[in-house]
Structure 1
Amino acid sequence: MAGLNASLGYFLAIVVSVASVQMLLRKHPRLSSLLELASSFMLVACRLEVQTIVEVGEWAGGLGPDVTVTMLFVVLLTHGVICGGASGNPSLVLQQFLQLETPTLPTLLAVAAQFVGADLALLAAGYYWSLELTDMHLIKNLMSASCSTSLLVPVVQGFMTECACALVFHLVQLNLRHRSALIRVPLTAVLLTFLSHTARGFTSAFINPAVAYGLTFHCPGFTLTEYTLVYWLSPLTGMILALLLYMGHIPRLFAKNILYFQKTRFRVPKGGKAEKKKM
């Protein structure tokens, strides 16, 4: 229980810090990329602690899988409420770019900021673990140099798993993006929690290149190229497939709808031809 209390205190500190930064930055629209930095920092920092509970807490702290699933859901829900439009997810930023919703430079700045946020989260979590407040964190601090990879299957199977999860996530996100936040945020948190729990024995279904970079890229077991294929290229592939299925085309790449037949808006009245013949 002491480990859980320490984790809750850590989550609270991260949330309060990011919420304060978000309030300050929203007054300056030109610094929108920093909102993505703060969003990514919160997401990665909190998920690093959730991963700690999964790796150590379940056998050293007596915390069962139900606790980790609940905490993951609460983290994702809180992130959606606090960060709002700042997703902290490079895949979603690139999706908006491909939909012609954001220009090139802001997109590049946002993606770069998200990875910087992931790096800062690694530093913050590492410092927190070094304090060794509980036995769980003492063990995690000793294990931090040789963490366990989240990729537990061959690269091809991992690629297919992340691609399928990304396809489902982006299709749902595209259908929910114009809905009220009261509907969109909880449903997104439930979906991400479900996908992560379902793919726990495969890739953990991060569906977020910045989160994957922070949680598993530094762990031994696979090369950087293999991690890139599974956790960067695969979500991007799933996102592009989702856009094609949802819109029928990729606006940034080509305007022609290649999947769905577009009906014309204006129709000729049925009696129009008969009237012309009489004349």
Structure 2
Amino acid sequence: MAGLNVSIAFFFLVVGLCQALRRFSKWLLSPGAYSCFARELAGSLQLCMSCLELRMLLEIGPWGGGFGPDVVLTLLFLLFAVHGTSFDGASANPTISLQEFLLLESNLAATAAKLLAQCVGMAMAWVVTKIYWSWQLTHFHLIQNLIASECSSSIHTSLHHAAFVEGTCSFLFHLVLLKLQQSNLMYQIPVLAATVTFLTYAAGPFTGAFFNPALATAATFHCSGSSFWDYVQVYWLGPLAGMLIALLLYQGNIPRFFQKNLLYSQKSKYKIPKARVAVHVEGGEPQQKRKGDKSNSKPCA
């Protein structure tokens, strides 16, 4: 269990360093530069480093450490709960940033800056994590270094099925995210963490269950066994399609492209007032009578 304790200490260190980076960036940069770039970079760095270490534990832990997937899934739930608390509004996921753009919550320049920050953060995380593994602080890292150059693809099923699995995971995740977007963080964070944990448990054996294009790029695109286009179809096009379908079903349209609801009829929340009843008054001129008015009411002067 010593190796597991080192990994847990690594998680704490990553969260602490990224939290320090967020505070320093908030102090140094303008609010716009912080929210569009620095916050996303720190969140992507934190997410990717944590997930790379978790993936290593998932692959090596059962036979190298004697613990099962339940330990890794528990750590995954706790880590995503911590991420939701510490991310300060960052998504660290290109499909979420694109969803915000399609919902008119973000403009093109801000979305492009977020996507760039996410890619930079994931690339930095891969480099830093490899350096950390090279220190060989545990036998897990020793084994990881030996097999790192010969890693195999995370796609363990047919290409179309893999794309469907990643798309379905993204669809369910975004559907839950859209449903909870106005909820209190106290409820939103654990529900999202539980959703990610369940999807990872269900879809992990087929594709690794990334449903995050930037994270998948950093974690598996360099591995042999599948072509670059195969990876793009499964880990980029699949999640993007899942996000678009979830948005279309939840909203009934995509606000960036369509103003009219394409799927659901819009019913007014307000009742149409009943027509006023005309009554005859002196002089033969009719006057409208409102509901509740008495018959002998006099006309206004």
**Could you tell me which of 199, 202, 205 is aligned with 1:198?**
202
**Could you tell me which of 37, 43, 60 is aligned with 2:64?**
60
Matched AA of 1:173: L
Rounded Cα–Cα distance in structure 2 between residues aligned with 1:73 and 1:182: 15
Counterpart for residue 216 of structure 2: 212
Rounded Cα–Cα distance in structure 1 between residues aligned with 2:50 and 2:267: 47
RMSD across aligned C-alpha pairs, in angstroms?
A: 1.6
Counterpart for residue 174 of structure 1: 178
In the TM superposition, 1:92-241 aligns within 5 A as 92-241=96-245
The alignment partner of 2:221 has SS state of coil
Relative to 1, partners in 2 of residues 1:3 and 1:267: Cα closer, same or farther, differing over 3 Å? Answer: same
Could you report, residue by residue, the CA deviation over 1:174-195 in whole angstroms, capped at 9, with x for unpaired residues? 0101111111111101100110
Residue 225 of structure 1, CA deviation: 0.8
Q: Relative to structure 2, which stretch is displaced further, 148-157 or 261-270?
A: 261-270
Could you report, residue by residue, the CA deviation over 1:9-61 in whole angstroms, capped at 9, with x for unpaired residues? 21111111001111222343132211101101110100000011111121111
1:246 to 2:287 alignment: no
Matched AA of 1:4: L
Which structure 2 segments of 5+ residues have no match?
Answer: 281-285, 287-301
Counterpart for residue 26 of structure 1: 26
Task: Name the TM-score, length of structure 2 as normaliser.
Answer: 0.88
Rounded Cα–Cα distance in structure 1 between residues aligned with 2:271 and 2:183: 31
Are 1:197 and 1:204, in contact at CA under 8 Å, matched by a contact in 2?
A: no
Matched AA of 2:19: A
The structure showing larger relative contact order (alpha-carbon pairs under 8 Å, at least 6 residues apart) is 1
1:261 to 2:265 alignment: yes
Between the two proteins, what is the percent identity of the paired residues?
42
Residue 269 of structure 1, CA deviation: 2.6
How many pairs does the alignment contain? 277
Relative to 1, partners in 2 of residues 1:141 and 1:246: Cα closer, same or farther, differing over 3 Å? Answer: same
Residue 231 of structure 1, CA deviation: 0.7
Counterpart for residue 85 of structure 1: 89
Between Structure 1 and Structure 2, whose CA radius of gyration is higher? 2
Q: Relative to structure 2, which stretch is displaced further, 172-181 or 139-148?
A: 139-148
Residue 124 of structure 1, CA deviation: 0.9
Matched AA of 2:10: Y
Residue 80 of structure 1, CA deviation: 0.9
Residue 276 of structure 1, CA deviation: 6.2
Residue 150 of structure 1, CA deviation: 1.9
Counterpart for residue 49 of structure 1: 53
Which structure 1 segments of 5+ residues have no match?
Answer: none
Are 2:39 and 2:88, in contact at CA under 8 Å, matched by a contact in 1?
A: no
Residue 277 of structure 1, CA deviation: 11
